[in-house]
Every structure is written in C-alpha cells, then in structure tokens.
Homo-oligomer: A and B are copies of this chain.
Amino acid sequence: MTKAQEVAYDLREQIESGHLAGGAALPSESKMMSQYGYSRETIRAGVRLLVEEGLVVTGQGQGKYVREDYPPVVWNWTTLESRSRHATAVEGRTAGDQWASAIAENGNAPRQDITVSIVEPPAHVRECLELPADGLAVARKRVRYIDNRPYALADSYFPQELVTGTPLMEPRDVSAPGGVLASVGLVQAKYRDEISVRMPTRQEAALLALPAATPIAEHTRTGYDADGRPLRCMVTILPGDRHKILYEVSAD
C-alpha cells in the first residue's frame, strides 16, 4: 500500500463511520500533513483517489467536501412480495404494484419507467427459469425512482409461453392481489434469492447516476409455484450508497 492509499483509506473510514459527514469539508492539507507526517504532494494524491472514487467532491474554489449521500432505504425482502402484505395494501386502495405500495406506505413517492420486450435472457436468468437453450423470455425492465431519484434497476423475466397475450406484456404498472403473476392465474409460493456484490457495469452506472466506484448488490429473486416450477426471475441492481437489504429468518 502506498502512502497516498493509506491517506485515502483513513479518510474513507472517517467518512463511512460518519465522523466526517456528507457535505463536510475535509481537514486542510496542512492539517493532514502534520497529522500523517507526509508531504503536501502525498496528501493531495490520497485525496485525489477519493475524488476519483466519487466519495469526495470539489467545491467552488478548490475546497474538498464529502459527497452528500442519498437518503438510505431499507427493503424487507421477506415481506416485500408476501401475499398477506399485498392483501393489506389492496384493501387500503394503495395504487400501483407491490414495490410501489411498499414505498408509498413509507411516505415516499414511487415512480417506475417500464419497458417490455421479448428477449433471449442472460445466461443466469435462463438457468433460474430452467429455459431450454432456444427459449425466450418476456422482460419487464424498470428503473425505479423514489422521490424522483433513481434507486434501483429491476428487470423481471417470465417464460414467454406463460405470459404471452396477458396484461404483463403491457408497459405499465400491474396491480393485483398476490402480485402481477396472480393477475394471469399464476401464484408464486416461494422465492429463492441470490445476492452478489460487484462494481457496476457502465450502463448500470449511467442509469442510476452512480458516483464513480460505487459498488452494487445484484439481487436475483426466482419465484416458484407450489410445484416448484419457476415462474419469474427478477434481477434487481441495488446501489450500496442508497440501500440496505433486510431479511427475517426463523431458526426452525
């Protein structure tokens, strides 16, 4: 590790622990020079690493500030799509799909840009849906906004033969008790969720307006009917700077 990286690591820890809050000015160069015992050049190189990461921004007149963060949201994946939660939302006449209901219940404004297409699904989606090599999927790709800020990408894939000719083919919110699939007579009984952590692709970074070097969680939920047949695979991209993922688990 170089001295500049050491400075960057130290500052990053102060920022992530909240010791240096979003919007706060970094300590002055001369203060850091005496604190670390390094040259001005080394301190600048360390700060530059954080600027390249997007964690530190340059204000008017060259001052350096901690980036202001998105208000973080917590999504509870144990109940986000549960049948009981949705029944409640429908009785309460909350508009939109289950995700939108959950956000609105929290006092925030949900919005989604939806595009629908018939695609050859990515390899891991094909595997989750147990599709043959030439099987097609209907993709509902959404950019999900909260209070007009982009928070997540959520792409749902359905085996084509299950949903052709149904309202799922239309590019708009589908609200139905039990979720969108229930509107076409299919009921998801259980989910298998796989989460991996990586840096974003270029397209993900652009769609989500990510600061440089913001890691993301790729959350893949496969929904099955009571017989274990896969009905849907939803891939959600959750930026680390604006999300927490929550699960409730029984020990039995």
Contacts and interface: CB of A to CB of B under 8 A. Distances in A.
Interface string A183-203: 000011111111111110110
Contact of A188 (B190, B238, B251): B251
A6 interface: yes
A83 B114 CA distance: 42
A215 B191 contact: no
A240 B196 contact: yes
Nearest to A198: B240
A238 B213 CA distance: 18
A202 B250 contact: no
Contact of A250 (B16, B190, B246, B252): B190
Contact of A10 (B202, B205, B250): B202
Contacts of A213: 199, 213
Contacts of A53: 199
- Most B C-beta atoms less than 10 A away, residue of A191, A240, A251: A251
A191 to B, nearest CB: 4
Nearest to A86: B251
B16 A198 contact: yes
A244 B84 CA distance: 29
Interface in A78-112: 78, 81-84
A70 interface: no
The 7 closest A-B pairs by CB, nearest first: A215-B215, A197-B240, A9-B202, A195-B245, A191-B249, A193-B247, A197-B217
